[in-house]
Structures are given as C-alpha cells and as structure tokens.
C-alpha cells in the first residue's frame, strides 16, 4: 500500500494513502474536536468543528473529509482555527438548553467538553430558540430535540448499521429537525419503522437521546462500567453493564469485537431480570403440591430420576430439552450430549430461536 507523508503542527507523519487529515492527526496524538464524525459511519463533513488550516487551500477544510496528501502541511490550532471553532460552539449554544446541571449526559457530552476546552459561554448570539416537546412516549428512549445539534449520527447509524431508516432530516434551516416521517414519534412504528434498538443513543454526542430507564439513576461519573457478553443469543455481542452501589442500572455500548457498538433491543434494554424479585436464586422442587427450596443435589437427583422414568416408560422421544443462550457454549454442548447420547432423543431446542 502506498504511503504519504505530511506535517501536522510541526510533526511529520507517514500514513497510508487515503487516510484523512483527522485520522492522521489522531494517529499522531494531535487533538481535533469532532461532532458528526464517526469511524464506523459515512462522512458528511457537516458540523465543521474539525476545520484545520492548510496553506494553499481556498478555505478552512474539514479534516474528517480531507484526504492527506504528500508534502501537505496542516495546522490545527492557529488563532483563526480556534476562533472558527469557538464561533461554531457559540452558535450551537445559542439554541441549546442551559440545563447541564440536570442533564443525564453531564460529564459525557462533547458540546459541554468543547465549550469548557475553548472557554465558550452561552450568550454570544441571541434570537429565537426551539421549544420542542420532549418525546418520552415509548418505554426505552427519551428524545429531546431541543438539545439536538443536527450532527446526523443517529440517522446514519439507523440507516447504515441497523438498516431501518427510521429517522431522517425534515424541514430546512432553523426548522431542520431529526425524526420519523410525517412528524410522528418513534412509538408510531407503522411509520417510523423503529425497533427500539437504541443504537442511535450510542452515537449521540449530546443529551438529545437518552436511555429512559437510566434517567435519574446515577451521574456519569458515579457509574462503574463492567464489560460483559450479552446473554440473549449466541452472537456474542459485548456491552457495558452500568453499575452503581452494586446494582446494574443500565446497559451502554462498548466497542465489542463482534458487534462494535450495535445492540438489539433485548441486549440494550432487557436487563430487568438481573434484579427482578421473581428471579430464582435456589432450586425449587414440588412437595405436597407446593414448591419448596431444595439443595442442588436433591433437585438434580429428582430430575434425573424423573427423566429416567419417562424414558423407560414412554421411550426417549417422549422427552424434550430446551437449552439457553444464557449459558456458555460448553454448557450447551453438554446439554446436547445429554439429549442425544444419554437420553437418546433429538428433541432439543434453543431459546435464541424464540
């Protein structure tokens, strides 16, 4: 693969041909802010917060869509660049709610981070502000379009990764808004085609999209994130359990080897069984018509005797086994051996098909 060498802020960098200026800077450890850019998604070059100075260029190009060239010289922090970024942030803050103290994304918001980094405060521009109603009419996702910065990440995630095309831009200029067709909400699934996977939340850089069940449960810095594997099917998606005070309060995306940041609705929002009061914590066996707690040895012995009796009386095909995706592959293999080699039946199924 051919290489190109360029200089960014006085640092000489050699990268494969086709690498963008932003990617080259990131490889060199040079900070360039981004809103609309995402390495897993297409590159619209829309937000312009990542502009850089390239002598000879007609204007300040967006580094996320500018290909690095041989001998190119790039400056990322000149006074003109800093001023352009600050003006960009001031325009965003002019139409953004000033509720960082109560926003769920406080501490994990790029707009907040960049405003702090560049010393930008609201008030530089005044005028009309959006006043959209907060959409919380579905059980999983809260949409506050007053906080949306129109980066289009959610649109591209839904189209390019999830493949549902549930949302897109509507209207133009100041009235531009992200949402389902016909001005409906995500709950109107006949129009929106939303499957509530929540992948849009994973890429939102601000507080426009949040997990409904996690609101008010913990601040971002109070949460311990534990990376684990989803128990619902055999794909092996990874995600982060959000834990506070020893209790799982939600699930958020991590960069899994299998799934990236994408999850299905069950993986992202189906964690309520973990602390459910009806969850069994010990084996139960029926005595005198009622379930009572038993030891594992007693329960396993009872199951073995009942299975043996059913096989002897009615034949092995009178027995069926249902395995689970919430156990390891090795345990499922043993269940398969139990069905076919011990009991002698092919009647075995798996909950991942349900």
Read off the pLDDT of each residue in 105-123 and give the average, rounded to a whole number.
95
Task: Kindly report, residue by residue over 215-263, the tens digit of the pLDDT.
Answer: 999 999 999 999 999 988 778 899 999 999 999 999 999 999 999 999 9
Given a cut of 60, is residue 140 above it in pLDDT?
A: yes
| pLDDT mean over 158-163 | 95
- Pull the structure tokens for residue 265: 């609705």
Q: What is the mean pLDDT of residues 281-301?
A: 94
Range list of H helices, the chain: 21-27, 79-93, 110-118, 153-156, 189-192, 199-203, 265-269, 296-314, 329-337
Cβ-based neighbours of 268, under 8 Å, separated by 6 or more:
140, 197, 198, 199, 211, 239, 251, 253
pLDDT band at 352 (very low <50, low <70, confident <90, very high): low
For residue range 50-104, list pLDDT tens digits in order. Answer: 999 999 998 999 999 999 999 999 999 999 999 999 999 999 999 999 999 999 9
Q: What percent of the chain has pLDDT over 90?
A: 86
Q: Could you tell me which residues come within 8 angstroms of residue 299 by beta carbon, excluding any fewer than 6 positions away?
A: 283, 284, 285
Mean residue pLDDT of the chain comes to 93
Instruction: Please write the tens of the pLDDT for every residue from 333-344.
Output: 999 999 999 999
Q: Is the pLDDT of residue 134 over 90?
A: yes
Assess contact for 49 and 87: CB atoms under 8 A. no
- Please report the domains of the chain, with CATH numbers, ordered by start residue: 3-77 (3.10.20.740), 219-278 (2.20.25.90), 284-353 (no CATH)
Entry pTM: 0.86
Look at residue 353 in the predicted model and tell me its pLDDT: 61
Q: Mark residue 272 as left, alpha or beta (left: phi above 0; alpha: psi -120 to 50; beta: remaining).
A: alpha
- Residue 298 makes CB contacts below 8 A (sequence gap 6+) with 283, 285
Determine the pLDDT at residue 319. Answer: 95
């Amino acid at each position: 693969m051919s290489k190109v060498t360029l200089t960014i802020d006085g640092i000489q960098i050699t990268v494969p041909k086709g690498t963008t200026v932003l990617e080259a800077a990131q490889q060199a450890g040079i900070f360039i802010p981004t809103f609309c850019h995402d390495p897993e998604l297409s590159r619209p070059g829309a937000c312009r917060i990542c502009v850089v100075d390239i002598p000879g260029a007609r204007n300040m190009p967006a580094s996320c869509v500018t290909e690095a060239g041989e001998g190119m010289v790039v400056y990322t922090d000149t006074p003109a660049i800093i001023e352009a970024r600050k003006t960009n942030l001031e325009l965003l803050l002019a139409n953004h709610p000033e509720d960082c103290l109560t926003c769920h994304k406080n501490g994990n918001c790029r707009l907040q981070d960049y405003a702090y980094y560049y010393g930008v405060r609201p008030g530089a521009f005044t005028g009309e502000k959006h006043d959209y109603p907060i959409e919380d009419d579905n059980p999983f996702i809260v949409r506050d379009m007053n906080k949306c910065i129109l980066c289009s990440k959610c649109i591209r995630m839904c189209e390019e990764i999830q493949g549902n095309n549930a949302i897109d831009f509507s209207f133009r200029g100041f009235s531009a808004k992200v949402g389902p067709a016909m001005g409906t909400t995500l709950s109107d699934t006949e129009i929106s085609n939303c499957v509530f996977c929540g992948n849009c939340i994973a890429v939102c850089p601000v507080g426009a999209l949040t997990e409904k069940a996690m609101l008010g449960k913990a601040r971002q810095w109070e949460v311990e994130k534990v990376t684990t594997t989803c128990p619902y099917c055999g794909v092996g998606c990874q995600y982060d359990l959000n834990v506070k005070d020893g209790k799982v309060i939600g699930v958020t995306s991590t960069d899994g080897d299998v799934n990236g940041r994408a999850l299905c609705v069950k993986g992202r929002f189906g964690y309520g069984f973990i602390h459910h009061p009806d969850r069994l914590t010990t084996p139960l066996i029926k005595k005198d018509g009622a379930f009572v707690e038993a030891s594992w040895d007693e329960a396993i012995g009872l199951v073995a005797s009942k299975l043996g009796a059913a096989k002897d009386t009615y034949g092995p095909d009178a027995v069926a086994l249902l395995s689970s995706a919430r156990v390891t592959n090795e345990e499922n293999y043993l269940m398969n051996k139990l069905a076919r080699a011990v009991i002698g039946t092919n009647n075995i199924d798996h909950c991942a098909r349900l």
